[in-house]
C-alpha cells in the first residue's frame, strides 16, 4: 500500500513543503517550533494512545529537540507545569535536591526551577515506553560511543520496520565497530527474510543460523511451518531446507545452553548452602556443639549490611566490602559472647545445648524486631552486582549469583587455610581431637573454644552479607537456612570441611535438576527423603571421619 502510493504521495509532500516554505519564508524557523509546541501542548490531556500519536508527530517533525524531549518523556522527566500548563523538561535531578531545574522543550533554554509538587508528570505506559525506546534508539545510531550504538541497534532490531531497516542499511557502510556491524548485519538478515529474492533469503537464513536466539528460531520455524492446507509460507526449496537445518541447530544449541544454565543455578544454590553451612561445619563439625542460633548469627550479618548501607548511603558500591569484615566482627563477637555466657557450661550435654541455643535464637530474633521493627529491611544491591553477563545469545548468567559462587570459594579457601596452616588452626584441631592431651601441651583450651566458636559465628555473619543480596532481610531470615545448613553438614560428614563443600554443591545441583520437573515444593521434599535414606545407609555422611579424629568427637 505504502509502496504504490509512494511516488504520488512524495510529490504531494514536496509541493506541500514548498508551499509551507513560501508561506513562511519570513519566519521559516518559527513554523516547526510552533508545530512542535502545539503538539507538546496536547500531551497533558491525551490518553496513552494519543500520546503515542503525538510522539510520532514529534518524531516526524524532524525538530532538533525531538530526541531530548522524547528521551525526557521516556525517563519520566517531562512535566506539565501546574501554574500555566506549559510543558517543561526537567534535568536529571541531583541526589538530595528538592527542586527540579526546568528547561523549555523548544529552545532548551532555562525555564526556571520548581518543586515537584508544582508539576504534573506526563505519564507513560509499557506500550508507550516501548515505542519511545525504539524512537530514541534511532538517535543513538550516530553516537560516538560504540556501546550506545550497539544498544541502539539492539533496540531497533526488536521492532524492525521499513524506516528502521533503511536507517540500519545507511549505517552499515559507515560503521567501524565490529560488534555493531555484526548486530546490524543480523538485523538486516532478519529483515531480508521478507525479501522477494530467494538467494537473498537463503543468505539471510545462513547468517541467522549462527544466532541461537528464540526470536530467530521462531521466525525461521514460521517459514517452514505447514498451515491447515499443508501449504508452506516459504516457496523456495533450498531456503526451506536451510531454514529447517538452522532451526535444528538452534534448538540443539539452546538445549545445550539450558543444561549449562541449570547446572549453574544448581552451583549457585549449592554455594549459598555451603556458605551457610561452613560456619556450622566449624561449630558443629569441629566442636560438636549443636548451635540452633546459627541462623540468627547469619541474620546479624545481614542486618550489619543494612546498617553499613544506612551509614554510608553515598558509597553503595563500597558497602559490601565494608560490610564483610564488619559482619564478621559483629557475628563473631556475638558468638564469643554466646560461648562464654551459655555454651561453655553445657559442653558434652547436647540436648541442653540445643534447647539453650534455641532460646538464644528467639532472643536474638526478638531483639532485632525491637531494634529494627518486624518489617523486612531493604538492602540495596550495588550496581556492580546487578545485571547479567551475556555469554552468548542463549546463555546469560546473573552477576549476583556469579559473585556469590566466587565468594563462597574464597571463604572456603580462607577457612581451610586458617584451620590447616595457622597456629590457631592447629590448636583448634588439637583441642577437637583430644582436649586433655592438648591441655597437657599447654594449649589454653577454653580460649581456643571461644576462638573456634567465634570463627564459626563470624563466618555465619559473612554468609549473612551474601544472603542479604539474595533474600529478604528480616527477623526470620535465619530460620529459613538453619535446616538447610544442618542438612549439608550431616550429609557431607560431620567434621569434614571438604564434605561440607561437596555436600552443599551436590544438594544444590540435585535440587535444581529436580525443580523444573517436580516444582519447588516437591523438589525439596524429594531431596529430603533421599537424604534420609542416604543417612540410613551411611550415618556418618559422605566423608566420615576416621581414625583418631573420629574418636575425639
272 binds other proteins (CB under 8 A): yes
Query: Longest C-alpha distance within the chain, in Å?
Result: 108
Compute the distance between CA of residue 39 and CA of residue 26 in angstroms, rounded to an integer.
22
Closest CA to 483 of 245, 292, 225: 292
Nearer to other proteins, 190 or 289 (CB): 190
Nearer to other proteins, 311 or 520 (CB): 520
- 394 half-sphere exposure, CB direction, 13 A CA radius: 22
Nearer to other proteins, 141 or 250 (CB): 250
Q: How many residues bind other proteins (CB under 8 A)?
A: 49
Nearer to other proteins, 120 or 341 (CB): 120
126 binds other proteins (CB under 8 A): yes
Candidates 78-86, 264-272, 299-307, 414-422: pick the segment binding other proteins (CB under 8 A): 264-272
* DSSP-derived 3-state class of residue 194: coil
Shortest distance (Å) from residue 157 CB to other proteins = 14
Q: Report the DSSP pairing between strands 119-121 and 87-90.
A: unpaired
Nearer to other proteins, 195 or 476 (CB): 476
CA dihedral (372, 378, 380, 385) positive or negative:
positive
110 binds other proteins (CB under 8 A): no
Q: Which of residues 134-193 bind other proteins (CB under 8 A)?
A: none
Query: Between 48 and 67, how does the x/- string for binding to other proteins read (CB under 8 A)?
Result: x-------------------
Q: Looking at 238, 520, 529, 550, which residue binds other proteins (CB under 8 A)?
A: 520
User: Do residues 146 and 180 make contact, with C-beta atoms less than 8 angstroms apart?
Assistant: yes
- In angstroms, how far is CA 55 from the centroid of its own chain? 32
Compute the distance between CA of residue 320 and CA of residue 306 in angstroms, rounded to an integer.
10
Nearer to other proteins, 298 or 450 (CB): 298
Nearer to other proteins, 48 or 447 (CB): 48
Nearer to other proteins, 269 or 497 (CB): 269
Cell 567465634 belongs to residue: 454
Q: Which of residues 217-256 bind other proteins (CB under 8 A)?
A: 218, 222
Residues 6+ apart with CB under 8 A from 355: none
Write the CA distances from 10 to 31, 161, 170, 259, integer angstroms.
21, 19, 20, 54
373 φ/ψ angles, rounded to the nearest 5 degrees: 80, 160
Candidates 20-28, 81-89, 441-449, 512-520: pick the segment binding other proteins (CB under 8 A): 512-520
Candidates 288-296, 329-337, 344-352, 466-474: pick the segment binding other proteins (CB under 8 A): 466-474
Candidates 7-15, 242-250, 427-435, 510-518: pick the segment binding other proteins (CB under 8 A): 510-518
Beta carbons within 10 angstroms of residue 522's beta carbon:
12
Closest CA to 413 of 498, 296, 356: 498
Cell of 231: 501449504
446 binds other proteins (CB under 8 A): no
Residues facing residue 119 across a β-bridge: 81
H-run or E-run covering 150: helix 146-158
Q: Which of residues 370-409 bind other proteins (CB under 8 A)?
A: 374-378, 380-381, 386-388, 396, 398-401
Nearer to other proteins, 10 or 387 (CB): 387
Residues 6+ apart with CB under 8 A from 165: 187, 188, 191
Candidates 2-10, 261-269, 303-311, 323-331: pick the segment binding other proteins (CB under 8 A): 261-269
Candidates 122-130, 163-171, 243-251, 433-441: pick the segment binding other proteins (CB under 8 A): 122-130
User: Do residues 364 and 301 make contact, with C-beta atoms less than 8 angstroms apart?
Assistant: no
User: Do residues 384 and 365 make contact, with C-beta atoms less than 8 angstroms apart?
Assistant: no
Candidates 37-45, 59-67, 125-133, 235-243: pick the segment binding other proteins (CB under 8 A): 125-133
Cell of 94: 541531583
445 binds other proteins (CB under 8 A): no
Q: Looking at 85, 143, 170, 214, which residue binds other proteins (CB under 8 A)?
A: 214
Radius of gyration of the chain (CA): 32
516 binds other proteins (CB under 8 A): yes
Contact residues for other proteins, defined by CB under 8 A: 48, 76, 123-127, 129-130, 133, 214-215, 218, 222, 258, 261-262, 265, 268-269, 272, 374-378, 380-381, 386-388, 396, 398-401, 470-472, 474, 476, 480, 512, 515-516, 519-521, 524
Amino acid at each position: 500500500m505504502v509502496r504504490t502510493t509512494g511516488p504520488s504521495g512524495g510529490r504531494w509532500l514536496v509541493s506541500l513543503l514548498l508551499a509551507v516554505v513560501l508561506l513562511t519564508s519570513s519566519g521559516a524557523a518559527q513554523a516547526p517550533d510552533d508545530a512542535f509546541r502545539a503538539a507538546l501542548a496536547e500531551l497533558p490531556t491525551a490518553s496513552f494512545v494519543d500520546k503515542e500519536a503525538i510522539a510520532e508527530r514529534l518524531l516526524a517533525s524532524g525538530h532538533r529537540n525531538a530526541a531530548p524531549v522524547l528521551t525526557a518523556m521516556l525517563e519520566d522527566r517531562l512535566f506539565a507545569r501546574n501554574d500555566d500548563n506549559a510543558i517543561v523538561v526537567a534535568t536529571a535531578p541531583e541526589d538530595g535536591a528538592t527542586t527540579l531545574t526546568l528547561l523549555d522543550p523548544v529552545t532548551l533554554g532555562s525555564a526556571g526551577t520548581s518543586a515537584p509538587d508544582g508539576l504534573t508528570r506526563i505519564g507513560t505506559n509499557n506500550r508507550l515506553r516501548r515505542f519511545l525506546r525504539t524512537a530514541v534508539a534511532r538517535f543513538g545510531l550516530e553516537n560516538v560511543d560504540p556501546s550506545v550504538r550497539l544498544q541502539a541497534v539492539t533496540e531497533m532490531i526488536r521492532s524492525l520496520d521499513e524506516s528502521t531497516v533503511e536507517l540500519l542499511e545507511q549505517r552499515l557502510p559507515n560503521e567501524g565497530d565490529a560488534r555493531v556491524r555484526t548486530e546490524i548485519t543480523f538485523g538486516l538478515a532478519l529483515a531480508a527474510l521478507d525479501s522477494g529474492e530467494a538467494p537473498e533469503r537463503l543468505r539471510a537464513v545462513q547468517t541467522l543460523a549462527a544466532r541461537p536466539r528464540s526470536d530467530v528460531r521462531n521466525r525461521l520455524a514460521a517459514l517452514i511451518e505447514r498451515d491447515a492446507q499443508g501449504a508452506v509460507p516459504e516457496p523456495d526449496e533450498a531456503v526451506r531446507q536451510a531454514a529447517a537445518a538452522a532451526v535444528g541447530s538452534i534448538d540443539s544449541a539452546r538445549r545445550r545452553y539450558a543444561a549449562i544454565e541449570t547446572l549453574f543455578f544448581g552451583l549457585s544454590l549449592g554455594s549459598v548452602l555451603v556458605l551457610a553451612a561452613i560456619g556450622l561445619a566449624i561449630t558443629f563439625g569441629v566442636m560438636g556443639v549443636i548451635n540452633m542460633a546459627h541462623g540468627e548469627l547469619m541474620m546479624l550479618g545481614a542486618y550489619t549490611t543494612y546498617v553499613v548501607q544506612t551509614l554510608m548511603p553515598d558509597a553503595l558500591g563500597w558497602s559490601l566490602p565494608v560490610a564483610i569484615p564488619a559482619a564478621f566482627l559483629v557475628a563473631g563477637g556475638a558468638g564469643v559472647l554466646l560461648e562464654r555466657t551459655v555454651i561453655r557450661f553445657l559442653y558434652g550435654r547436647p540436648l541442653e545445648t540445643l534447647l539453650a541455643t534455641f532460646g538464644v535464637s528467639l532472643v536474638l530474633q526478638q531483639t532485632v524486631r525491637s531494634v529494627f521493627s518486624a518489617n523486612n529491611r531493604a538492602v540495596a544491591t550495588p550496581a556492580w552486582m546487578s545485571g547479567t553477563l551475556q555469554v552468548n545469545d542463549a546463555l546469560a548468567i546473573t552477576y549476583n549469583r556469579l559473585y556469590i559462587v566466587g565468594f563462597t570459594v574464597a571463604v572456603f579457601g580462607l577457612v581451610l587455610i586458617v584451620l590447616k596452616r595457622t597456629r590457631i588452626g592447629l590448636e583448634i584441631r588439637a583441642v577437637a581431637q583430644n582436649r586433655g592431651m592438648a591441655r597437657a601441651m599447654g594449649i589454653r583450651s577454653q580460649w581456643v573454644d571461644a576462638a573456634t566458636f567465634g570463627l564459626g559465628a563470624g563466618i555465619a555473619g559473612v554468609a549473612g552479607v551474601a544472603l542479604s543480596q539474595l533474600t529478604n532481610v528480616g527477623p526470620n531470615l535465619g530460620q529459613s537456612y538453619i535446616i538447610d545448613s544442618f542438612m549439608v553438614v550431616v550429609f557431607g560428614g560431620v567434621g569434614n570441611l571438604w564434605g561440607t563443600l561437596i555436600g552443599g554443591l551436590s544438594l544444590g545441583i540435585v535440587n535444581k535438576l529436580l525443580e523444573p520437573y517436580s516444582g519447588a515444593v516437591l523438589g525439596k521434599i524429594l531431596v529430603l527423603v533421599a537424604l534420609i535414606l542416604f543417612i540410613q545407609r551411611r550415618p556418618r555422611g559422605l566423608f566420615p571421619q576416621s581414625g583418631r579424629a573420629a574418636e575425639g568427637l
